[in-house]
Amino acid sequence: MASDVTDADNGNRPTGPFSGVTVIDLSRVLAGPFCTMLLADMGARVIKVEAPKTGDDSRGYGPFLNGESVYFKFVNRGKESIALNLKNADDHAVLEAMIARADVLVENFRPGTMDKLGFTADAVAKLNPRIIYASCSGFGQTGPMSHLPAYDTVVQALSGLMSITGHPDGPPTRAGISVADLTSGLYTFSAIASALYAREKTGHGARVDIAMLDGMISYMIHGAMEYVVHGRELGRLGNGHASITPFDTYQAADEQIAICVGGDEVFVRLCKAIERDDLAADTRFARNRDRHTHQHALRLEIEGALARGSAEHWIGVIGTAGVPCAKIQSVSEAIESPQTAARNMIVEAGGLRMTGNPIKISGYDDPTTRRPAPGLDADGAAIRREFGNAGKGSDAAAGS
């Protein structure tokens, strides 16, 4: 593994499970950068390779603060940046020198792009047989759709997710976050971690192939169950659950609250809390299967009881009874909540507050302040010195 202290970063990275691991990050926008940000958070040295002049496409995405993209800053903290024109021979040599000494290469180009640039899996393996070569794309490196471009919404549409998201009387709906991108980033992160662990035993690198569509198909558990067992579509459920009741949002006197009852005993506690013990004795609601069959009738009974008090009142009463329930918070409320603060899930990088790292591991710090995202080519000169001044006279080094 590469040295943890370099000319480019002066040893200023956090320690973590991946300290000593060097990652070459050729990815852009969201899926790949989210993966490599997690690697950086966990101690890896991540060198982001960007196109000269423009850099990562997301540098042009809003919102902006002081003329700089917050989108870019949120998923590129803790990295270094070098601008390379990979069609230029000198810059090509710089990347080859970096690959020869790296542990991981991450890219999320459309399949075939890396091959055209001269960095096929075989070529990279010849430069460094121990490297983990990780590709994250819309549809993977194989299959009839592998050559097609993809964005998060396209993958949500193709995976079936949009068909089960939204209310029954509404249209298919995209999830409110870029879940396909983020999922594939997480799968790429876990695959890299697995491949690094395997390398400790085998001494060999590996080829990682992650597809956004594969990731979303793997999430379609409830829809797949309904199809393989009954041969039918799950359909849109609103906020309800495919097989558990009551497990939904319910209207109190002032606003809705989420109530989730995972078993018959919990249902008895809910009935007692809302002063409707009779519901637990009703044969329509005795077991989960019965409740699910009669979920609309049960909703009327529950909401009739909840109408007697505010959401805040019922959350206190129902929660005290040991029934999982919650206020439907806004994003701002979630960010500013004491629980979020206690878990260090809002950190600061370069003076900007942003979402933190949910991976907590004993023996390693979870700092409240992180290194900010780099400026374009901010570390280029130092990285070129480190890798033997390869491509010293290139047009990328001159910012062309």
- Start-end of H helices in the chain: 31-41, 70-75, 89-100, 113-116, 121-127, 152-159, 179-202, 212-219, 221-230, 264-273, 277-281, 288-293, 295-306, 311-320, 331-335, 338-342, 380-386
101-153 pLDDT, tens digit each:
999 999 999 999 999 999 999 999 999 999 999 999 999 999 999 999 999 99
pLDDT value of residue 11: 47
Q: Is 209 helix (H, G, I), strand (E, B) or coil?
A: strand
Candidates 222, 241, 294, 313; catalytic one: 241
d(CA 29, CA 36): 12
Among 187, 226, 260, smallest CA distance to 35 is for 187
Q: What is the mean pLDDT of residues 55-71?
A: 96
% of the chain exceeding 70 in pLDDT = 94
Q: What is the mean pLDDT of residues 58-85?
A: 97
DSSP-derived letter for residue 57 is G
Per-residue pLDDT for 165 more than 60?
yes
pLDDT value of residue 15: 83
Q: What is the mean pLDDT of residues 357-364?
A: 96
Instruction: Calculate the CA 29 to chain-centre distance.
Output: 13
- Structural contact between residues 250 and 311, judged by C-beta atoms closer than 8 angstroms: no
- Structural contact between residues 246 and 280, judged by C-beta atoms closer than 8 angstroms: no
Which residues contact residue 63 at a Cβ distance below 8 angstroms, ignoring those fewer than 6 apart?
Answer: 69, 70, 71
Furthest C-alpha separation in the chain: 82
d(CA 231, CA 31): 33
d(CA 25, CA 37): 10
Which value, to the nearest 10 degrees, does the dihedral of the CA atoms of residues 57, 63, 69, 71 take?
-70
Domain with CATH 3.30.1540.10 in the chain: 256-327
- CA separation (Å) from 340 to 186, 216, 345, 346? 21, 27, 5, 7
233-288 pLDDT, tens digit each:
999 999 999 999 999 999 999 999 999 999 999 999 999 999 999 999 999 999 99
- Structural contact between residues 363 and 17, judged by C-beta atoms closer than 8 angstroms: no
Domain with CATH 3.40.50.10540 in the chain: 22-219+345-386
Can you name the CATH fold of 256-327?
A: formyl-coa transferase, domain 3 (3.30.1540)
363-398 pLDDT, tens digit each:
999 999 999 999 999 999 999 999 876 555 444 443
- Structural contact between residues 21 and 104, judged by C-beta atoms closer than 8 angstroms: yes
- In the numeric block, the tokens 């662990």 are attached to 197
194-224 pLDDT, tens digit each:
999 999 999 999 999 999 999 999 999 999 9
pLDDT value of residue 388: 75
| Architecture of the domain spanning 22-219+345-386 | 3-Layer(aba) Sandwich (3.40)
Residue 294 annotated in active site: no
% of the chain exceeding 90 in pLDDT = 93
Per-residue pLDDT for 33 more than 90?
yes
Q: Is 17 helix (H, G, I), strand (E, B) or coil?
A: coil
Instruction: Calculate the CA 353 to chain-centre distance.
Output: 18
- Structural contact between residues 349 and 73, judged by C-beta atoms closer than 8 angstroms: yes
Angle between helices 179-202 and 31-41 (to 10 degrees): 50
Instruction: Specify the pTM.
Output: 0.91
pLDDT band for position 9 (cuts 50, 70, 90) = very low
Per-residue pLDDT for 302 more than 60?
yes
Per-residue pLDDT for 73 more than 70?
yes
pLDDT value of residue 94: 96
Which residues face 327 on adjacent strands? 257
